[in-house]
Structure 1
Amino acid sequence: MTPTSRSRPQQGALLDLPATAPQAVDGEGVSEPVARVVVDVPLPHLDHTFDYLVPPAMASVALPGTRVQVRFAGRDRSAYVVERRSDTDHRTTLAPLRRAVSPVPVLSPTVLDLCRAVADRYAGMLMDVVRLAVPPRHATTEKAVLEKHAPGALVSRVVDPPDSQAWQAYTGGPAFLRHLAAGESPRAVWTALPGHEPVPGAALSNGSASVESTVEPTVPAGVLPWPTSIAQAAHATLASGRGVLVVVPTTRHVTQVVDALAAILPNEPVARLVADDGPARRYRAFLRTLLGEARLVVGTRAAAFAPVTDLGLAVIFDDGDDRLAEPRAPYPHARQVLALRAEREGAAMLVGGFTRTVEAQLLVEQRWAHPVQAPRELLRRVTPRVEAPGEVELAREGPAAAARIPHPAWRIAKEALTTGPVLVQVARGGYVPVVACARCREPARCRTCHGPLRLERAGAAPSCSWCGRIAADWACSTCGDTRVRATRVGSTRTAEELGRAFPSVPVVVSGATADHGVVETVDDRPRLVVATPGAEPVARGGYVAALLLDGATSTSRPELWASAEALRRWLGAAALVRGAEAGGRVMLLGQPAPVPAQALVRWDPAGFAARELAERAELSFPPAVRLAAVQGTPAAVRSLLGHLEPLDGLEVLGPVAVEAPDPRTEAPAPTRRPRTGSPRAAARPVPPRPLVPEPEVRAVLRVDRRQGAALSRRLAHAAAARSARKEDGGVRVQVDPPDLW
């Protein structure tokens, strides 16, 4: 085996070894006997290809893109063949491949090229990205799919062009579809309108009795739910003979898009790439896509790497959702992955959502994409009437103005419940997620791990949110008081209060911590639906009204993205409400920050995004500039910064100490063996000692966007240099960190 020349630094280059000229290899009758592979190793300085000899028995199986096993550093490791050659740079005899795992070329050349681009963009390792792109092999499923698949038997299905009236509600929408149907590759940032259609099914999607509804859509023609709009764009792309890839945040969104595609394209197979479906179903969908049996692919963030044949359109909806950002190295975002893919494969791209993220606004201002949005006249008709009463408006209510749900909100809910359901969005789940001392208002914390205390139900003793211990004898460390008060109120407590205020109205709680989990749909009967952000059920015909509580909780967070995320959550809930012409109303409460609140009242996400981007450009914040966070032990961070090659315009902020992770668990209590002759027969437990994490520091590197690629390359080279020298301490490198504050 030998390292080969790539953009990554070679081990030989790091150790100043001389380069060698390629030499031919006699493969004993094997055509192209050298397999160039990428090996799954966690060391950055080994992030390049290696050459192995292909045994005659594997000559027809170990093809580019297939999985193999190789002997590397004394161990059998997984690898992928990326190329077959006739020569090598290795000076001595090549080691042979150990085993051909599968004959299926799961790593296609286009996906491999995309993985390299993503690794370079995020200063990561190629195999880390490949691990995200290619799902684990499921041998039984692979065998079943290959037995049913007939190579060369697939016939390109002809799809008629879509209705010319599609997307007529949006300025530039019909033109976007015409370009797709003509085989072109337009790029658009789409601000979706709320659209409501009758939702078939039961009052609750978790098994309650089915109730038919008489509510019909009350929106103008051409304003359709966002899944239907995406299905129409997919229809136009298929008419040009190309494939479509749709990426959404959750499995719930995947189901909505798949249902919309089935309604418009009933004869077109759709592949679902969702981790929640399990390894067998996910691998089957992946193979169907790879073999060309499905031209429509819908999935969550990992589906951005799906091997769609002749990709014509890449769609991402609600790109501001943090579930579209990969939490594992190198931490790519699905939006950026699809943008790289659209450029490299010449495909169209659609970035959509009820809001417009700052990153999407940057694409518009750079003219990489064109805006597609509805005119203001139509917007006023289809969106609900939004109110955000301030202190002056609420002052006339007297002492009741300080209530979490003031009288005007109760009045809106009471009137709306006479005709249909009402949505109440709460920032936090649970009963009382945070409590404090009733006298001095000092946050109540656990005596063992210092985690925040909470109340799980009415009348229960406080318990720790981290270690779960019951603090029955808690007393404030500041004033000694034993009483607690609610600092934040969760969805369960809110539902309890609303149930007492409206005793004859059913109350549904939707959320990850709720008893029934996330409820998908509700019918049009009067009911109160209390939900956390992202868990709001879809109401048949739309909600009559919505109350958005705890506005200050969402906008007062220290993170850079707090206001933009709050607006995204508010617009997502308000989009489920009927339009103003149908009497839909939304009230934002809890003293939110004025800028996002006014953007919600005006329903102007594009204006908010433009203002936010201008402010970030003035302050040199992302995405106007390129940032990279380097975090680890002080010695490791200093070492990586020392290996960093000079770069014009590079600004290094820090390193500064970061807060150590709070100990959520304790080290297990070890036992001592009794000494010889000790009268004690049992081991004596040692009192547990809290884990003390090693202190860490973080440095932030900032450059102009035009220097972003150069910064990523230098970070990758510095990490490889540390790895080659076996320097102690791990360093986490994250380009465009989302948690900047």
Structure 2
Amino acid sequence: MVEERPVASVRLVGVLPHLDRPFEYAVTPATAAAGPGMRVRVRFSGRDTEGIVLERRDTPTTDRPLAALSRLVSDDVVVPPALMRACEDVAARCAGTVGDVLRLALPPRHARAEKADRAAEEKERAAAEEPTAPEPAAEAETGGDPGEDAGAAADPSAAAPPRPGDRYPGLAALLARAGRPDGPVPRATLTLDPAESWTVLAADAIEDLDPSRGALVIAPDQRDVARMSRLLTARGVAHEVLAGTEGPEKRYRTFRRILRGTTRVVLGNRSAAFAPVRDLALVICWDEADDLLVEPRAPYPHTRTVLQCRSAEERCALLFLGASPSIALHSLVEAGYLARLDPLPAPVHAVRPRIVAMDQYLRDREGPSGRSRLPQEAMRVLRRGLERGPVLVQVPRTGYAPAIACTFCGTRARCPQCAAPLSQAGRGGPLHCTVCGRREDGYRCPECDRTHVRAMVIGSARTAEELHRALPDAPLKVAGGAHGALADEDVPEGAIVVSTPGAEPAPPDRYAACLLLDADAALGRAAFDADVEAIRRWRNAIALVRTGDEGGEVLVVGTATLPAIRDLVAHRSGAFLDRVLADRRELDLPPYTRVAEIVGDRDACRGFLDTVELPDGTAVFGPVDLEGPDAGDRARAVVRIDPARSRDLAAALRAGVAARSARKARGSLRVRLDPPDVF
């Protein structure tokens, strides 16, 4: 074995950027079993380093003597060839290193978990080889006509009930082509109506696949993964859950079961995007626009990018599901990469709740109370909903009063020590700093020297306090923030659930009503995509409410004339999205430009921009010094280019980072492509 192919090409994990390339090592008799995709240990720069074998060769490409492979960590093929190509593509798209991507893709090896799983594998193999006795034929039941069953099976009225996917004619075509080695790879995006559950649609799609093919389902939140897992378990579909919250031993044992193909259906969040599913045919991603799907570690890939690379390399079908249209996916539809699956027409009240905004008529009808944060119409919706089931109240911020301002001049209250915002933890409680923890008992406004303050933003805790005073007999639950998550089964019947966006529990029978409070505050967030993100969060909450035919209703408390709120009330209207895209095209904002952010020490940031060879047509903004208590001596620059040349920009930034690493330049520097919070 060693004499045949004595040279191993190895990709090192976690090395410096300028060393991110394959290296050749000599295969020893002890490592003769090393093959492509296996983990090995090598000596590199005087250290014991982990690597992945790319291939075995007969001759080296250099005349220098080769160092030997230190040892073969495991004979498991942890990175199949198609997955390795996908990792290389992710690194090229994100201006990162393949070693960093491999570090994201591979969980740390756990020897005890591997030993236990090998023993389980041997038992499974032995049980499969044992002959099994034939099962006795089932006796026919007496007392009935055998023709009755056949007639019932042939009766059209006894057909299976309609499924959510039946409303989307293109979905059946996508599943029919999933996993085919020839022809185009099907990729699509689908926006669900509130009445349709994404878990039911995904489970139906998995059951429609060939049992020999694999499926991967990605959701941003672990609770979404748990809901999907419960549904598949109830249907008897074998699956694995690969979650980042598991311990090292359990995670690696799950990873190895996936690797050897024990089950071909895998669920998980961001960390499961690289799961080595055997014979992968279908990838489903729920709520792609959620910022939880952005990797916080280098090279900061979005899960969408990872799944696109895997779809290209493994030829698996790709399906994005969401309750709200995504700007990024819309741009991929315009480019012809994705197909948009539209539903068949249906009555509005049959597919979503009744949605009303506090317009001028409702406010004038109430008088002065109509302009309050909790108008009488909101209380009427609450009381009607509590008669039929639980009610959801969504507020944009957690805490009691997270933002405080002077009552007289409106100046925001900040900590005199670190300049962070001051907040109030409870009714009549003292002001305190959210960063350094300083307690400010004798606060005076720096502008007018007054001592009276008011709440600029009302949080979930104070909202719950106000609702408890108004409806003391109704059970009250708070989800999100310091209160933590609330399990779906812990929502009492006839209860009020006050939640922040993303923390809403999903009771089995759904909510009877929903209040979306402080809509203007959600739209006033200091971000260029605040309106799109607010709609996404609102629609995710609306998806938990019963339909209009079942009495479900939603009230949006905000300025009803704002385009975002008007789009929320309208049903499947593309006017708002078209307006947003037109504005972004005119202002050269994503997705019509490719943007990169360079953040680091002031000298390092400026030196990088002076030395990197950016493509022609690249616009550079900055660098500018960062502000704030944690800014320090740091600066930030933004570069952007036409999307058609995004590969050139990524290659230039990647080369610049590698050159800086080779020079051992001082200072820290971070390069991110398409950061969600760039503007």
TM-score by length of 2: 0.90
Q: Which amino acid aligns with 2:293?
A: L
Q: Determine which of 285, 310, 323 is the counterpart of 2:279.
A: 310
Is 1:543 the counterpart of 2:515? The answer is no
Is 1:712 the counterpart of 2:650? The answer is yes
Structure-to-structure mapping, 1:514-553, within 5 angstroms: 514=483, 517-522=485-490, 525-553=493-521
Q: Distance in 1 between matches of 2:644 and 2:207?
A: 37
Identical positions, percent: 40
Q: SS of the counterpart of 2:634?
A: coil
Structure-to-structure mapping, 1:138-537, within 5 angstroms: 138-150=110-122, 166=163, 167-180=165-178, 185-195=185-195, 224-239=196-211, 241-264=212-235, 266=236, 268-391=237-360, 393-514=362-483, 517-522=485-490, 525-537=493-505
Which range is displaced more, 651-660 or 466-475?
Answer: 651-660
Which position in structure 1 is the counterpart of 2:144? none
Q: Determine which of 10, 29, 32 is the counterpart of 1:56.
A: 29
Indicate the structure with greater helix content: 2
Q: Which amino acid aligns with 1:558?
A: A
Which position in structure 1 is the counterpart of 2:641? 703
Deviation (angstroms), 1:524: 6.6
Evaluate the alpha carbon distance shift between residue 182 and residue 655 of structure 1 in structure 2; reply closer, same or farther with a 3 A threshold.
closer
Deviation (angstroms), 1:152: 8.1
Which range is displaced more, 481-490 or 307-316?
Answer: 481-490
Q: SS of the counterpart of 1:487?
A: strand
Which position in structure 2 is the counterpart of 1:94? 66
| 1:226-272 Cα distance to aligned partner (Å, 9 max, x none) | 10110111112234x311011000110111111222233x1x42111
Q: Distance in 1 between matches of 2:59 and 2:611?
A: 34
Evaluate the alpha carbon distance shift between residue 189 and residue 154 of structure 1 in structure 2; reply closer, same or farther with a 3 A threshold.
farther
Deviation (angstroms), 1:165: 5.1
Evaluate the alpha carbon distance shift between residue 482 and residue 641 of structure 1 in structure 2; reply closer, same or farther with a 3 A threshold.
same
Deviation (angstroms), 1:77: 2.1
Deviation (angstroms), 1:182: 7.8
Which position in structure 1 is the counterpart of 2:13? 40
Deviation (angstroms), 1:171: 4.2
Q: Do the aligned residues in 2 keep the contact of 1:121 with 1:712 (CA within 8 Å)?
A: yes
Evaluate the alpha carbon distance shift between residue 387 and residue 120 of structure 1 in structure 2; reply closer, same or farther with a 3 A threshold.
same
Is 1:594 the counterpart of 2:562? The answer is yes
Evaluate the alpha carbon distance shift between residue 83 and residue 566 of structure 1 in structure 2; reply closer, same or farther with a 3 A threshold.
same
Q: Distance in 2 between matches of 1:305 and 1:449?
A: 41
| 1:292-313 Cα distance to aligned partner (Å, 9 max, x none) | 1110010001211111111111
Which position in structure 2 is the counterpart of 1:657? 625
Deviation (angstroms), 1:398: 2.4
Is 1:127 the counterpart of 2:99? The answer is yes
Which position in structure 1 is the counterpart of 2:632? 693
Q: Distance in 1 between matches of 2:174 and 2:70?
A: 51
Deviation (angstroms), 1:522: 4.8
Which range is displaced more, 501-510 or 49-58?
Answer: 49-58
Is 1:721 the counterpart of 2:659? The answer is yes
Which range is displaced more, 557-566 or 650-659?
Answer: 650-659
Which position in structure 2 is the counterpart of 1:137? 109
| 1:558-579 Cα distance to aligned partner (Å, 9 max, x none) | 3122111100000011111111
TM-score by length of 1: 0.83
Q: Distance in 1 between matches of 2:491 and 2:445?
A: 47
Q: Determine which of 66, 70, 83 is the counterpart of 2:42.
A: 70
Evaluate the alpha carbon distance shift between residue 605 and residue 230 of structure 1 in structure 2; reply closer, same or farther with a 3 A threshold.
farther
Q: Distance in 1 between matches of 2:97 and 2:611?
A: 18
Q: Distance in 1 between matches of 2:616 and 2:478?
A: 54
Q: Do the aligned residues in 2 keep the contact of 1:245 with 1:314 (CA within 8 Å)?
A: yes
Deviation (angstroms), 1:453: 1.3
Q: Which amino acid aligns with 2:194?
A: P
Evaluate the alpha carbon distance shift between residue 625 and residue 145 of structure 1 in structure 2; reply closer, same or farther with a 3 A threshold.
same
Which position in structure 1 is the counterpart of 2:543? 575
Which range is displaced more, 559-568 or 610-619?
Answer: 610-619
Deviation (angstroms), 1:47: 0.9
Structure-to-structure mapping, 1:559-638, within 5 angstroms: 559-591=527-559, 594-604=562-572, 607-638=575-606
Which range is displaced more, 243-252 or 601-610?
Answer: 601-610
What count of residue pairs does the alignment treat as equivalent? 645
Evaluate the alpha carbon distance shift between residue 286 and residue 262 of structure 1 in structure 2; reply closer, same or farther with a 3 A threshold.
same
Q: SS of the counterpart of 2:240?
A: strand
Evaluate the alpha carbon distance shift between residue 180 and residue 78 of structure 1 in structure 2; reply closer, same or farther with a 3 A threshold.
closer
Unpaired runs of at least 5, structure 2: 129-158
Q: Distance in 2 between matches of 1:430 and 1:349?
A: 39
Q: Distance in 1 between matches of 2:223 and 2:564?
A: 27
Q: Distance in 1 between matches of 2:222 and 2:435?
A: 28
Q: Which amino acid aligns with 2:192?
A: A
Q: Which amino acid aligns with 1:260?
A: L
Q: SS of the counterpart of 2:245?
A: helix
Q: Which amino acid aligns with 2:118?
A: L
Q: Do the aligned residues in 2 keep the contact of 1:552 with 1:592 (CA within 8 Å)?
A: no
Q: Do the aligned residues in 1 keep the contact of 2:599 with 2:669 (CA within 8 Å)?
A: yes
| 1:29-57 Cα distance to aligned partner (Å, 9 max, x none) | 54322222122344211111111222211
CA RMSD of aligned residues (A): 2.4
Q: Do the aligned residues in 1 keep the contact of 2:479 with 2:499 (CA within 8 Å)?
A: yes
| 1:396-422 Cα distance to aligned partner (Å, 9 max, x none) | 322213311111111111222222211
Q: SS of the counterpart of 1:404?
A: coil
Q: Do the aligned residues in 1 keep the contact of 2:178 with 2:316 (CA within 8 Å)?
A: no
Q: Do the aligned residues in 2 keep the contact of 1:193 with 1:226 (CA within 8 Å)?
A: no
Which position in structure 2 is the counterpart of 1:730? 668
Deviation (angstroms), 1:488: 1.0
Q: Do the aligned residues in 2 keep the contact of 1:192 with 1:373 (CA within 8 Å)?
A: no
Q: Which amino acid aligns with 2:527?
A: E
Evaluate the alpha carbon distance shift between residue 496 and residue 165 of structure 1 in structure 2; reply closer, same or farther with a 3 A threshold.
closer
Q: Distance in 2 between matches of 1:519 and 1:494?
A: 20
Which range is displaced more, 347-356 or 475-484?
Answer: 475-484
Q: Which amino acid aligns with 1:244?
A: A
Q: Distance in 2 between matches of 1:163 and 1:94?
A: 65
Which position in structure 2 is the counterpart of 1:685? none
Q: Do the aligned residues in 1 keep the contact of 2:36 with 2:56 (CA within 8 Å)?
A: yes
| 1:412-471 Cα distance to aligned partner (Å, 9 max, x none) | 112222222111001111111122223322211222222211111223211111111221
Evaluate the alpha carbon distance shift between residue 91 and residue 180 of structure 1 in structure 2; reply closer, same or farther with a 3 A threshold.
closer
Deviation (angstroms), 1:634: 3.7
Q: Do the aligned residues in 2 keep the contact of 1:30 with 1:59 (CA within 8 Å)?
A: no
Q: Do the aligned residues in 1 keep the contact of 2:535 with 2:568 (CA within 8 Å)?
A: yes
Deviation (angstroms), 1:154: 11
Deviation (angstroms), 1:497: 0.5
Q: Do the aligned residues in 2 keep the contact of 1:556 with 1:593 (CA within 8 Å)?
A: no
